């Protein structure tokens, strides 16, 4: 195997609403602050990993309720109920101003690293609500990947093993609470790069752990338990 390089992204880093779109959310501030508006705590973990690996952090601070950068064009969740019925020209503006530049920046960086002979390990950082539709989620940390890609499966198995040894009191699972092959940015990027060029992994951390003593430990553990052979860019 050749050199490896890591790239850290955070698609739901904030719930920022540009002032020209503020009227769309008037009276719906609570929704913006909820898990639907962003991934609370994800940016904190992403920053910690980027710092530990001395690499640039790629993130989107615009709320996913404006446009969902972690969904493909045409997906039913690309636009929320706040933007689904806006003029098509406004939708195109959102795509051109926020969606496309963010995704292209990340893709360009991966292409650059691959061209330099690296195998890219993409870590996309997320958090999830502890209770969804009245059902409690018992997992603490999820490692999401495409199990049809052997490279991702092997890498994730090794990472989970080391992470569990470091954080023995937490429940760590593969492809939970979501599956890594579901529609998302990593799924799209797998169509652009081969399995030997690109490994797309999403980390999902339970929001119930935010502001607890172990949360900072999670940030450290995610960095220092990556499988051996990791070369940082």
Along the 233 residues of the chain, how does pLDDT read in single tens digits? Answer: 468 999 999 999 999 999 999 999 999 999 999 999 999 999 999 999 999 999 999 999 999 999 999 999 999 999 999 999 999 999 999 999 999 999 999 999 999 999 999 999 999 999 999 998 888 999 999 999 999 999 999 999 999 999 999 999 999 999 999 999 999 999 999 999 999 999 999 999 999 999 999 999 999 999 999 986 444 44
**pLDDT, position 21:** 97
211, part of any domain: yes
For residue 233, is it within any domain? no
φ, ψ dihedrals at 174, nearest 5°? -85, 140
Q: Is residue 231 part of a domain?
A: no
Domain assignment present for 30: yes
List Cα–Cα distances, 103 to 78, 82, 159, 167, in angstroms. Answer: 14, 22, 26, 32
Helix extents (H) in the chain? 29-33, 42-52, 88-94, 100-115, 150-166, 185-190, 214-224
**232 in a domain, yes or no?**
no
Q: What is the CATH number of the domain that holds 130?
A: 3.40.630.40
In a domain, 182, yes or no: yes
Peptide bond into 177 cis (omega under 30): yes
Q: What is the pLDDT of residue 233?
A: 43
- Report helix, strand or coil for 107: helix
Does 230 fall in a domain? no
What is the token pair recorded at 24? 């769309």
Closest C-alpha to 203, from 37, 68, 43: 43
For residue 155, CA distances in Å to 30, 107, 150 come to 39, 21, 8
Distance CA(49)–CA(223), nearest Å, equals 6
Distances (CA, A) of 64 to 33, 78, 103, 156, 199: 11, 8, 14, 27, 24
In this prediction, residue 26 carries a pLDDT of: 95
Calpha distance 11→30 (Å, rounded): 20
What SS3 state is found at 203?
strand
Domain residues for the domain of 76 are: 3-224
How many domains does the chain divide into? 1
Question: Could you tell me which of 138, 145, 136 has the C-alpha nearest to residue 174?
Answer: 145
Q: Is residue 170 part of a domain?
A: yes
Structure tokens at 202: 């999403």
Q: Which residues have a Cβ under 8 Å from the Cβ of 114 and sit 6 or more positions away?
A: 120, 193, 197, 198
């Amino acid at each position: 195997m050749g050199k490896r390089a890591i790239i850290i992204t955070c698609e739901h880093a904030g719930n920022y609403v540009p002032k020209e779109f503020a009227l769309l959310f008037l009276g719906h501030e609570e929704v913006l602050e909820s898990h639907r508006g962003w991934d609370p705590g994800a940016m904190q973990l992403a920053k910690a990993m980027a710092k530990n690996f001395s690499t640039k952090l790629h993130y989107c601070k615009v709320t996913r309720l404006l446009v969902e950068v972690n969904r493909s064009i045409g997906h039913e969740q690309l636009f929320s109920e706040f933007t689904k019925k806006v003029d098509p020209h406004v939708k195109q503006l959102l795509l051109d101003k926020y969606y496309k530049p963010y995704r292209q920046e990340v893709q360009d960086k991966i292409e650059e690293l691959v061209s330099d002979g690296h195998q890219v390990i993409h870590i996309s950082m997320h958090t999830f609500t502890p209770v969804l539709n009245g059902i409690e989620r018992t997992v603490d940390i999820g490692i999401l990947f495409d199990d049809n890609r052997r490279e991702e499966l092997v890498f994730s198995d090794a990472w989970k093993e080391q992470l569990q040894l470091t954080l023995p009191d937490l429940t760590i699972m593969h492809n939970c609470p979501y599956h890594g092959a579901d529609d998302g940015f990593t799924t799209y990027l797998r169509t652009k790069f081969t399995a030997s060029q690109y490994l797309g992994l999403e980390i999902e951390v339970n929001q119930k752990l935010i502001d607890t003593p172990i949360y900072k430990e999670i940030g450290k553990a995610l960095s220092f338990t990556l499988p051996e052979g990791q070369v940082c860019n």
